[in-house]
Amino acid sequence: MRVSFVIMTYNRRAVLAQTLGRLPELMAGEGLASGDWEAVVVDNGSSDGTAAWLANAAAEPASRVVPLPLGENRGCGARNAGVAAARGEVVVFLDDDSWPRAGTVVAALAHLAAEPDVAVLGGPVYLPGGGQDAAALPLVPPGCGLVVRRDVFLEVGGFDAGFVYRAEEYELVFRVLAAGHGVARDQAVRFDHDKTQVARQPARIARLDLRNNLVLLDRWFAAPLGDMLREDWLARYTALLAYAGDAVDVAAVVAESRAYVGEAPRASAPTPLGPGAIEALFCFKAIEQGLGAWAERCGVRRVVLLGYSKTLWPVWWACAALGLEVVAVADDGPAFAGLDYRGAAVMTRAQACGLDFDGWAVTNRNPAQGPGLAALVAGDGRPVWRLVE
């Protein structure tokens, strides 16, 4: 079998039914026969009748649905169970409200065939209204549209189930890179994500987000980069938590992350990511080269960095290496008002416009956000730099 869709679901039977209903026609349009694909649906202990509905769907003639009821909510660990049950050489992870666009599966298979070293593949994930669902690091695909070779997924141990459901895609990608495999982004590998709004637990989500991101840094990044990113990310998440009013003890989360790295069996003596993987993720050289060429071409010596983002440090580092003066960091997020970033004040775009500087440098590489930020200041009259990937 060539392709296994692995779909994790919890109490969203109607949404799941719509997603599964789309797949047969899409796969027929891709030229995949019914025996070439399957949809493994992992039910995370739903209580809305999902398990019975899936059993009936699987019993239909020519059904490609493979139900996998877990009886409990395992978070992202459910995806590991799905891959263990899958038979396809290539696994396409979907949420129960996401699906591939026409041509995506064929494009993904062609890419993997042409580049045997690539083990994880992603691309644009479109939201209703034209926005995108994307990670801060463009090389990391969201779990609602992630393609992986099944053998490599099993080789590296899959998702870290202890992450539950925050930043687990980052951890998987870092694990794949550390094992010596490639990760790529292909603009032809496209998904739609309806992103149904469900009830959330803000404090728990925020705590997981912070803990898991700190675990990533401690597990996969050596000093000094790990220390610099840890300082940045801790300050950023702390500001977001304080603004949201979430009752999260940041010091306790930091201690929890340290303990997690030290105690989790999967984390024993991890090998920090090498220079090639770090460059693929953060683009230090590409940023320095691109920013330098832009600054020389436009006569820029004093810049305002646009976006107090998770990828701020590489652009700051490039400015320092090039001898560019960072006048300020501009971000309209209210959580960051009044902060200071390595001696530069964080302020709104409107405030930054009144300063004396030569050009804007966009730090946010998120495909869903970076282009929009650049467009917001395009009418300012000063040149705008953005890393185009």
Residue type, 267: A
163 and 291 in a single domain? The answer is: no
What is the span of the domain harbouring residue 20? 3-193
273 and 287 in a single domain? The answer is: no
What CATH number does the domain containing 99 carry? 3.90.550.10
pLDDT of residue 64: 94
321 and 381 in a single domain? The answer is: yes
Listing DSSP states for 169-194 in one string gives HHHHHHHHHHTT-EEEE-TT--EEE-
pLDDT of residue 224: 92
pTM: 0.92
Determine the number of helices (DSSP H) and then strands (DSSP E) in the chain.
Answer: 14, 16
pLDDT of residue 76: 87
Q: Who contacts 176 (Cβ-Cβ below 8 Å, separation ≥6)?
A: 119, 120, 148, 152, 156, 183
76 and 101 in a single domain? The answer is: yes
Residues of the chain short of pLDDT 50, as ranges, are: 199-200, 265-268
Q: How far apart are CA 36 and CA 243, in angstroms?
A: 49
What CATH number does the domain containing 350 carry? 3.40.50.720
Q: How far apart are CA 248 and CA 1, in angstroms?
A: 46
pLDDT of residue 268: 45
> Domain boundary residue among 193, 221, 244?
193
- Number of structural domains, the chain? 3
45 and 144 in a single domain? The answer is: yes
pLDDT of residue 256: 86
> Domain boundary residue among 193, 214, 242?
193
176 and 206 in a single domain? The answer is: no
185 and 221 in a single domain? The answer is: no
101 and 222 in a single domain? The answer is: no
138 and 62 in a single domain? The answer is: yes
253 and 169 in a single domain? The answer is: no
Beta strands in the chain (DSSP E): 3-9, 37-43, 65-69, 90-95, 98-100, 118-122, 125-126, 145-149, 182-185, 191-193, 302-306, 325-330, 340-341, 344-347, 359-362, 384-385
113 and 144 in a single domain? The answer is: yes
- C-alpha distances (whole Å) from 91 to each of 1, 35, 94, 146 are 11, 15, 10, 8
> Domain boundary residue among 193, 220, 248?
193
270 and 301 in a single domain? The answer is: no
